[in-house]
Amino acid sequence: MMTADTVVDLGRQAMELMLYVAAPPLLTSLAVGLVISILQAATQINEQTLSFIPKFIATFLALVLAGSWMISMITDFIRRLYGSIPQLIG
pLDDT for 4-62, tens place per residue? 999 999 999 999 999 999 999 999 999 999 999 999 999 998 888 888 999 999 999 99
Domain count, the chain: 1
**CB of 73 closer than 8 Å to CB of 20:** yes
pTM equals 0.82
Question: Exposed, middle or buried: residue 25 (CB in 10 Å: 0-12, 13-18, 19+)?
Answer: buried
For residue 20, give its domain range: 4-89
Handedness of CA 46, 49, 53, 56 (dihedral sign): positive
